[in-house]
A = this chain, B = another copy of it.
Amino acid sequence: MKQPERPKTAAVLVIGDEILSGRTIDTNSGEIARFLALLGIDLKEIRVVGDREPAIIAALNALRAAYDFVFSTGGIGPTHDDITADAVARAFGVAIEEHPEALALLRARYPGTELNESRRRMARIPLGATLVHNAVSAAPGFHIGNLFVLAGVPAVMRAMLEAIAPLLPQGRPLAAVTLAAETAEGRIAVGLAAIQKAHPEAAIGSYPYFREGGFGVQLVVRGRDGKAVEAAAEAIETMLEEAGIGAARLPEQAGRGDHESG
């Protein structure tokens, strides 16, 4: 019998003081999470660190050793606080140099003028890395080993994600069913635990919400085996019906990217 291949794993590293100060809301990690879910790659960890080289190097080395792929965002612009490329070169133990193709891209973007020192900075790429182009900005991202270095500006980051999609393996995307139940978590937790035990192939998540109109629970059943997910979802529906609790399936897209507040 052929052993099913282990799903590929990934981590996201968000780089930027502006996230840690609470000034900026990180939307990139959620964007990458949804991108990876569609590819069937398991996102296992997200880290956010500030614009300090030792912190970036330590996180890069820990994550690239632990997971199949690492995606970083932020710190590749022209200003003094953009130090990601240098940190990556140190983490990988390679030199960093002006990349001829990156320089040509930047020159084409600013025709008729000599590139200033800071814009030239954006052409500095660790040796051995491959450029990641994007349609929005001239400055490229890059990938080296199992690390993809993407921009922090969300529109540019998204364009770079599109560009790297063909380089990533296409796994078996997760199947998911989302049920909304009009009940408190504590009323159904015992039954849910029993269903989880009986359906180990599916992962059942329980997410309570409190709104002005009342409260309830969203139950999300996920797994790579669509039949196992469906069987677990039906077991939950039966349990809710027997308990006289109103429930409805939500269209899958509606369940994506909800705010925690429901």
Give the interface of A toward B (CB within 8 A). Answer: 14, 17-37, 43-51, 55, 77-81, 110, 116-119, 121-122, 136, 152-155, 174, 176, 185-187, 189-190, 192-193, 196, 203-210, 220, 222, 255-261
Contact = CB atoms under 8 A, between A and B. Distances in A.
Given A27-B261, A81-B204, A186-B118, A222 B37 contact: no
Nearest to A74: B260
A255 B204 CA distance: 39
Nearest to A187: B116
A220 B192 CA distance: 48
Nearest to A255: B23
Contacts of A78: 185-186, 189
A261 B152 CA distance: 9
Contact of A43 (B21, B116, B122): B21
Q: Which 5 A-B pairs have the closest CB atoms?
A: A118-B189, A22-B33, A22-B34, A46-B48, A80-B193
Most buried by B among A31, A79, A222: A79
Contacts of A18: 205, 207, 220
A211 to B, nearest CB: 10
A195 to B, nearest CB: 9
B256 A23 contact: yes
B210 A155 contact: yes
Given A81-B196, A136-B210, 17 more contacts: A20-B33, A20-B43, A21-B176, A22-B256, A23-B176, A24-B207, A25-B259, A27-B259, A45-B55, A46-B47, A78-B186, A79-B193, A80-B206, A119-B189, A153-B210, A154-B261, A155-B261
Per DSSP, chain A at the interface is mixed
Contacts of A259: 24-25, 27, 154
A100 B135 CA distance: 60
Contact of A193 (B118, B122, B206, B257): B118
A91 to B, nearest CB: 17
A203 B21 CA distance: 12
A75 to B, nearest CB: 11
A233 to B, nearest CB: 15
Contact of A77 (B79, B153, B208, B255): B208
Contacts of A187: 116
A107 to B, nearest CB: 12
Most buried by B among A32, A43, A51, A207: A207
